[in-house]
Structure 1
């Protein structure tokens, strides 16, 4: 009977793309023993980009198949966070996952079931069907190390929400300290159902048959060692952990994006600072104007991706597909005209991997989303760290303090606002000063390590080989 590995990403472009890359990597190391079956939800957070990517992968990789669940609706008017509604949507999919695994099992042997952290509701499904069940952790080893330890902090805060502890700092094994108010956003408010959902997800990690992580050992050696030494779960065995990254995918650009690539090719080597904050990286007009002020005062060349303000949730979800951004409203009067000889503003989307790999790009102002971090690492581009949501403050800390590949911006307490003069200062530091040169050299060395990790004898390929051998024994 044909053997297959079933992958189940959570909704959202970043999660789906990295899971698909994992499937490609498994195929490349399994000597045609396995096919890949990817389960996908329908309706919530779908974008044309996901459909387009699935179609192209299906054509290029016949051994990768996609199985879409029936559409399920959720009540969007509930009095809870958007993340809580997202978690509820995924939880409601568990019966669909169960039926899909049973259906696949009729014609193929399911050798392993690999789930996203947010799909923890299906951990018991895999166990009940006696299928080895693994997590695919789409962030880095530092976040994994922190997540394994977070439940103990939950017990130390006397029922208070982390958002109400501005002076509390949590000290982790293998990870730089983190302010309580900078915990991942679903954990900030104990009254929000998302808090208890994510705590449940995190607590379930140790029940899996293994954890696959989208990073490589040379990028986060301190966190990797802490996990391996059992410091993050001192009272329980840590599941086998496999570091198989960096898994990234190049995006496709439309006409405006192609124009931005040709514009970059005309700029001097290492002269452009690239600003992009992801599809959810939206700012109110006051912050957009401060960014413009900082860029103009810096005197540096720049490529800046601007999204719509956060007043339309649908637009926020589909930013890369709906570039209807009103730049005249958002930007200071005359800004584009005054900076036209050294700057380019793009609406909503660029092919980020292609941009970062252009010779003219010398720095990256990023929200510290893990996919963006890995893309910058592989391109050898140093960063200015401006975290916005999710686990991005954790990523910022590791980038700045352990990897030493980024400069942090100073953000206002409460809303994270950054004034223009602060951005100007950090852009000049990265692009003009000695510290920026040091970061650039360190980033180029890490680029070589990243490429080597996925080479024939690289650490990530060795980890994946061990994982596949484990499945082969099943």
Structure 2
């Protein structure tokens, strides 16, 4: 009888995507996989629901099960941060998750894999005696820092924000400026968001093991640090990545896909700068114009996915449904006409995995979200870092200093990168002598990524070890 793996990625498209890639690894090993989803509690900015539908449609061998919906909190009217409401909502779904798991014969339920934000569901799995593991969709460097942060915060009377750019020494990563930590962790230790965040990271490493979307040679120091953290017996760490979309099959919207890729087909190898800032990332109206000036002056070819600016820095900006961008209003007058042929601007969505794997793509201006970083690493494309929020500033430090696959666009900490910086760095990566080393390192990382997933590779061995450990655990739980 086939065994079933249940995966619970929460609601974000940035989490459903990589978990679906992990599901495909289980399928190849002969398991059935059910991905359990909750109804998105609000209409997200650029139709994340559509993106999830696209993922489901292109993965017909995976079962997608939506839990019976609970009444969603009133995100817009509540005074609470949406993240806190979302955590509470996921916690409230525990009963429905338990009912679903009880419907699967215990002997055929192999394991439950939880997303990093669904860790409250650990209690359900422990109650049912089911092997439960975390899947961390970020990198090992990020997980290492977040695992060490509670000890840094403990006993402090003030938040870390007042340390400014002071470098903090964490095991496994380059010195990390305090200002680069996730914003909520900089608040006063008693702040509700800070407490909720530290609790989530603490619980992430309290399941029976953590699968991380990375490969050992990309973040070897960080991986080692997770095994050696002082004063903590960490559960096993399994590096099973890079789990990224291979492109093509995810780009079901042929019209949009063809526009980008056909245009790229006509460009020389490694000549195009691709600019894209993830499913949530947006630039201000001023930054969009400045970026355009820098791109135009650089004289380089570019493919740019432009989204409407968010209304504000208010956390509730994620609840806005933003209309399609008016490019003529957002970009400098005459920009589209002057750069015609050399540049292509697309509205809102571009098939990122396909673009990064295209032979014409030579550099990637990114917000440093981990999925995007891994897609570029797997494609051998060097990056220009413009981190916006969440853990992206931490990723930027590791990408530029440890992995050697990126350069940063200075000014991101002040929230504004000048045109001359865009122009200089784009030229450097595409045509500069210094860029040659960066391009060579990116190509070498691509080969490492392929090797990790190949026969006898580290990620393959790590996944095999995971299966062995679950079998042993299953025998113990069954006794």
TM-score, normalization by structure 2: 0.91
Note if contact 2:14-2:279 (Cα within 8 Å) is conserved in structure 1: no
SS of 1:303's equivalent in the other structure is strand
Report the Cα distance in structure 1 between the residues aligned to 2:461 and 2:303, rounded to whole angstroms.
38
Is the contact made by 1:279 and 1:318 (CA closer than 8 Å) also made in structure 2? Answer: no
8 Å CA contact retained: 1:323, 1:347? no
Residues in 2 aligned to 1:256 and 1:169: alpha-carbon distance in whole angstroms: 44
Tell me the distance in 2 between the aligned counterparts of 1:189 and 1:326: 37
Residues 186/104 of structure 1: CA separation in 2 closer, same or farther (3 Å cut): farther
Which residue in 1 is equivalent to 2:174? 176
> Quick check: 1:465 aligned with 2:467?
no
Kindly indicate whether residue 269 of structure 2 is the aligned counterpart of residue 269 of structure 1: yes
SS of residue matched to 1:209: coil
CA contact (8 A) 1:137 1:212 kept: yes
Structure 1 CA distance for aligned equivalents of residues 134 and 14 of structure 2: 16
Partners of 1:273 and 1:365 within 8 A in 2: yes
Contact 1:272 1:301 in 2 (8 A): yes
Distance in 2 between residues matched to 1:111 and 1:146, nearest whole Å: 31
* Shift, 1:98, TM fit: 1.7
Take 1:362 and 1:172, find their aligned partners in 2: how far apart are those partners? 33
8 Å CA contact 1:43–1:71 kept in 2: the answer is no
Alpha-carbon offset, residue 2 of structure 1: 4.5
1:136-168 deviation line (CA, Å, top 9, x unaligned): 01011111111110111112532x233343143
**Cross-structure match for 1:220:** 219
2:128 matched residue in structure 1? 129
Distance 2:184 2:28 in 1: 36
RMSD between aligned alpha carbons? 2.0
Task: Tell me the distance in 2 between the aligned counterparts of 1:152 and 1:211.
Answer: 20
Residues 198 and 10 of structure 1, relative CA distance in 2, 3 Å threshold: same
**Within 5 Å, which residues of 2 pair with 1:225-244?**
225-228=224-227, 230=228, 232=229, 234-244=230-240
Q: Which ranges of 4 or more aligned residues in structure 1 deviate by more than 4 Å? A: 312-319
Contact persistence 1:184–1:389 (CA under 8 A): yes
Aligned to 1:417, the other structure's residue is in SS state coil
Which residue is 1:302 aligned to? 302
Q: Which 5+ residue runs of structure 2 have no aligned equivalent? A: 475-479
Q: Deviation per CA, 1:188-223: give whole Å up to 9, x if none.
A: 334653322211111123321100011111111111
> Does the 8 Å contact 2:26/2:32 carry over to 1?
no
1:427 equivalent in structure 2: 426
**Structure 1 gap segments, 5+ residues each:** none
1:88 deviates by 2.6
Distance 1:316 1:437 in 2: 39
User: Helix, strand or coil for the counterpart of 1:142?
Assistant: helix
Matched, 1:65 2:63: yes
Find the residue that maps to 1:410 and give its secondary structure. Answer: coil
State the number of aligned residues.
459
Say whether residues 1:51 and 2:53 are aligned partners.
yes
Name the CA shift for 1:167/1:389 in 2 (closer, same or farther; >3 Å). Answer: closer
SS at match of 1:424: helix
